[in-house]
Structure 1
Amino acid sequence: MSTGNWVEADLDELDVTEETADSTPLPVVAIVGRPNVGKSTLVNRIIGRREAVVEDVPGVTRDRVTYEANWRGRRFTVVDTGGWDPDATGMNLRIAEQAQIAAELADVIVFVVDATVGATDADEIVGSILRQSGKPVILTANKVDNQQIEMEAAALWSLGLGEPHAVSALHGRSSGDLLDVVLEALPETPAVTFGDKRGPARVALLGKPNVGKSSLLNKLAGQERVLVDPMAGTTRDPVDELIELGDKTWRFVDTAGIRRRDRELQGADFYAAMRTRAALDRSEVAIVLIDASEPLTEQDLRIISLVIESGRAMVVAFNKWDLVDEDRRYYLEREIDRQLVRTPWALRVNISALTGRHMDRLVPALEKALDSWSTRVPTSRLNAFLTDLVHATPPPVRSGKQPKILFATQASTEPPKFVLFTSGWLEDTYRRFIERRIREEFGFAGSPIEVTMKIREKRQKKDR
């Protein structure tokens, strides 16, 4: 293998850093109210994008979900909550409890009431609780789309929470005025600073519905951060949680379960799937949870493929391992090897989110996967390795000619991408062989890598 006239860029000297905000906690604004009064629509209006799942049925938002917002240069955190119904039972009661926790943790509470309905008995009870909270409460009359409804909204003074601020979250009417009031009530926002260090690594929790993602997040957080229920589809919005593990802060993102076919999804489930993919795209590493007590399904393999296509580092966690007996474990290991034959590099851990079994193995696996994801192989080492490899196992002959690898370089990290400059086409099997040998030589456990080629164009001889 010859470098010829290729100019070798000193890629190893490049050190790309990322701007990150100061780690000082932002003030928190909780958006609360009874079900279907437009809380998520208001959240989307505040953050300036359609992020929270919205549908015209109660109970779409089930957990407390955080977003960062910015108004007039001041940054704060907005918490979207499920419907707060004092008379709720079952799942609705647990949703209401999450909303109450959000209000207790907030610096400012925005209490949303449907102005077209007026103050209900539930609004009166929630208003009474909020008056006793000692927190600044901003009464917001939503769905005020015309002057007539604005006049009717004045009746909400009866809640004893001060002036009702009339807005239309759907159309944006007076939303800026509402945000001005929110800023006045907020404590001072920390200034934005930039540094060389990145923020906490983002870890997306993926898996089919009811596989234990929310249970895992709650176990890691040491509290019931998100709702857990035997009913599949409890999580709709991605839920972020900062968690201290292994002397390091991680940002875990619980996502909605990915169902079998996107075309089968409707309404909130369709948008929840979109949010899950967006959460994956914003993450550095994904934990794919698989139910160890059941055989691997096409759905599990499709989720793994989704992570590979995204280029993110990956840890496959086999949950509910405590439910698997010794005989089943023996056959399961071989089943996994067979079905994950295309992704032997994926790191695997066997855990129980319910009991906490082997949870200590999760952080080392995440750290190893992230290290692999950001690894850069020095160009000189890469070319020396490929020279020996090609000498021992030359590329297969194609159309009577044997292609040569002239030079190689690692074009990027996160994920690692390698480019082979060649004199001709390399068969797919040979490129997979090179990828496998690169992994054997340099590691990359837990990270996808990409090996592409750039064929040198033939120079045309000039007539003399």
Structure 2
Amino acid sequence: MAERLAEIGDEEAQQRADSLRASLADYDLDDEDRLLLQELTSGEIPAGETGAPPVLAIVGRPNVGKSTLINRILGRREAVVEDVPGVTRDRVSYHAEWNGRKITLVDTGGWDIDVRGMASRIAEQSEIAVELADAVVLVVDSRTGVTATEEHIVKMLRRAKKPIILAANKVDDERGELAAAELWALGLGEPHPVSAMHGRGVADLLDEVLTVLPEYSRVEQMVEEGGPRRVALVGRPNVGKSSLLNRLAGAQRVIVEDFAGTTRDPVDELVELGGRQWRFVDTAGIRKRARQASGADFYAALRTQTAIERAEVAVVLLEANETLSEQDVRIIKTVTESGRALVLAFNKWDLTDEERRWNLGREIEKDLAHVAWAPRVNLSAATGRHADRLVPAMDRALAGWDSRIPTGRFNAFLGELVAANPHPLRGGKQPRILFGTQVSNRPPKFVLFTTGFLDPGYRRFITRRLRETFDFTGTPIELSMRIREKRKRK
């Protein structure tokens, strides 16, 4: 096929396509058809550099309403919230806008004193968030008032020497405003009474925030417009996503524990790999279908789905030393249905013996045959072994995801394919492909104008040959039909 196509010049291919396209005038087309047949552009954004939006860290002790305030500012339920302390564990970034200015909000876990175990690392993440912020909003529960924890937080904030705005949360009426006034005792200036739950006073708080934030961040790196490429790390709980992100970032960026479910919010990090920046997003482990989950796990599942949809390529981590599960297959299906480029990373490869590797090969042939086109990488998140192989795998997947075939070349491909392998007769009739075009990329989507319904098996055949001929590695391909009848002559 590739050799035959190579013999057809671009000019000849375009002439064939123009002829086929002109012949569609004999068929009944609707307005949407005509729109599809217009010349399509790639729509790619030219690369350039700009200053990063200023970073605002939201800190406070556990359960004072930090994540609720984040959601109020965003105008949607983005940060995971549950009526128990300690739901937020890592520092998590969200993009917001107020009065035409972009802001990066950083939600943090509750800061507390005399904490041990995972709670101590939550507090550590909060302190790191302050260091990497341009300004800080300290959220205090006005109903509880000043506690010893707040006094310690204030000392920590003063050492950081960052602009601090005091938000007195849970102020729902005038009596609450009197209680908020007691927070002057913290020595941070005027307390701003707000109700994160109902939105009261939040606009005034944001107006004050803009007065202390710089136009561009002084701590965040310069970022490329249209880039860096966005990568979602997804997989079952405790499969090693956070360990891999920490290894790639070269720092303890995400909390890692031996038990599952440590990460609940998507956590993003700019990582330099292969001489370029990538924006990695560590997501909560997908335990079960979102509609079957509850509480924080339910919203964490929704956040993970959103993170996949906002990514360009998803790296699905699978445990090489364990049998592939139905859950693994479902996660991969979620990625392909979202139209993201896909890389399969088999973690804990250093823990597998020859027998397990043989069995894994058979499992891949049986359970992952539908994504045989996805690049595979065998690595160890704990040691970093072969982690550098992720870059060429992601590059290959993204190259296929970005690809666009010229209309002339695509129709030449269809002509050669049908001539060598015509559609089987069905009821004495043989459906014909009149014309084809790629309507978009990221992921590649193709539309075929036909005289009849193409069998699913034949559509899969076309898709498979598309991959082989044009190297659509690592990306799902969408192929749809528009069945049109010949216009009746009057």
- Residue 5 of structure 1 aligns to which amino acid in structure 2? S
Q: Which has the higher helix share?
A: 2
- When residues 21 and 180 of structure 1 are mapped into structure 2, their CA distance, relative to the original with a 3 A threshold, is farther
**Number of residue-to-residue matches in the alignment:** 458
**Does the residue aligned with 2:160 lie in a helix, a strand or coil?**
coil
Task: Give 1:371's aligned residue.
Answer: 399
- Give the C-alpha shift of residue 21 in structure 1: 8.8
What are the within-5 Å matches in structure 2 for residues 63-142 of structure 1?
A: 63-142=90-169
* Structure 1 contact 69–77 (Cα < 8 Å) conserved: yes
| RMSD, aligned CA | 2.2
Task: Give 1:6's aligned residue.
Answer: 24
Of structures 1 and 2, the one with the larger relative CO (CA 8 A, separation 6+) is: 2
Q: Distance in 1 between matches of 2:304 and 2:46?
A: 25
- Residue 29 of structure 1 aligns to which amino acid in structure 2? L
- Residue 300 of structure 1 aligns to which amino acid in structure 2? D
- Give the C-alpha shift of residue 262 in structure 1: 2.4
Task: Give 1:230's aligned residue.
Answer: 258
Task: Give 1:182's aligned residue.
Answer: 209
- Residue 91 of structure 2 aligns to which amino acid in structure 1? R
- When residues 250 and 341 of structure 1 are mapped into structure 2, their CA distance, relative to the original with a 3 A threshold, is same
Task: Give 2:274's aligned residue.
Answer: 246
Q: Distance in 2 between matches of 1:97 and 1:83?
A: 10
* Structure 1 contact 292–320 (Cα < 8 Å) conserved: yes
Q: Distance in 2 between matches of 1:68 and 1:262?
A: 24
Task: Structure 1: state its 5+ residue gaps.
Answer: none
Q: Distance in 2 between matches of 1:319 and 1:367?
A: 19
- Give the C-alpha shift of residue 22 in structure 1: 5.0
- When residues 13 and 401 of structure 1 are mapped into structure 2, their CA distance, relative to the original with a 3 A threshold, is closer
Q: Distance in 1 between matches of 2:224 and 2:61?
A: 43
- Residue 441 of structure 1 aligns to which amino acid in structure 2? T
- Residue 292 of structure 1 aligns to which amino acid in structure 2? A
2:410 pairs with 1:392: no
**Does the residue aligned with 1:294 lie in a helix, a strand or coil?**
coil
Q: Distance in 1 between matches of 2:354 and 2:458?
A: 39
Task: Give 2:373's aligned residue.
Answer: 345
- Give the C-alpha shift of residue 438 in structure 1: 1.3
Task: Give 1:282's aligned residue.
Answer: 310
Q: Distance in 2 between matches of 1:418 and 1:152?
A: 62
* Structure 1 contact 17–197 (Cα < 8 Å) conserved: no
**Does the residue aligned with 1:138 lie in a helix, a strand or coil?**
strand
- When residues 202 and 148 of structure 1 are mapped into structure 2, their CA distance, relative to the original with a 3 A threshold, is same
Q: Distance in 2 between matches of 1:410 and 1:264?
A: 38
- Give the C-alpha shift of residue 160 in structure 1: 2.3
- Give the C-alpha shift of residue 226 in structure 1: 1.0
**Does the residue aligned with 2:61 lie in a helix, a strand or coil?**
coil
**Does the residue aligned with 2:24 lie in a helix, a strand or coil?**
coil
Q: Distance in 2 between matches of 1:23 and 1:205?
A: 26
* Structure 1 contact 321–351 (Cα < 8 Å) conserved: yes
- Residue 324 of structure 1 aligns to which amino acid in structure 2? T
Task: Give 1:362's aligned residue.
Answer: 390
Percent identity of paired positions between Structure 1 and Structure 2? 62
* Structure 1 contact 131–161 (Cα < 8 Å) conserved: no
* Structure 1 contact 20–198 (Cα < 8 Å) conserved: yes
- Give the C-alpha shift of residue 128 in structure 1: 2.1
- Residue 128 of structure 1 aligns to which amino acid in structure 2? K
- Residue 419 of structure 1 aligns to which amino acid in structure 2? V
Q: Distance in 2 between matches of 1:189 and 1:392?
A: 59
Task: Give 2:192's aligned residue.
Answer: 165
Q: For 1:407-430, what per-residue CA distance to the aligned partner results, in whole angstroms no more than 9, with x for missing partners? A: 222222111112222222211111
Higher alpha-carbon deviation: 157-166 or 137-146: 157-166
- When residues 15 and 297 of structure 1 are mapped into structure 2, their CA distance, relative to the original with a 3 A threshold, is closer
- Residue 141 of structure 2 aligns to which amino acid in structure 1? D
Task: Give 2:285's aligned residue.
Answer: 257
Q: Distance in 2 between matches of 1:446 and 1:231?
A: 31
Q: Distance in 2 between matches of 1:388 and 1:165?
A: 70
- Give the C-alpha shift of residue 461 in structure 1: 4.9
1:307 aligned to which of 314, 335, 340? 335
Task: Give 2:344's aligned residue.
Answer: 316
- Give the C-alpha shift of residue 272 in structure 1: 1.0
- Give the C-alpha shift of residue 345 in structure 1: 0.7
- Give the C-alpha shift of residue 197 in structure 1: 5.4
- Give the C-alpha shift of residue 152 in structure 1: 1.5
Higher alpha-carbon deviation: 219-228 or 173-182: 173-182
Q: Distance in 1 between matches of 2:181 and 2:250?
A: 44
* Structure 1 contact 35–83 (Cα < 8 Å) conserved: yes
Task: Give 2:55's aligned residue.
Answer: 28
Q: For 1:232-281, what per-residue CA distance to the aligned partner results, in whole angstroms no more than 9, with x for missing partners? A: 11111111111111122111111111112323311111111111111111
- Residue 297 of structure 2 aligns to which amino acid in structure 1? D
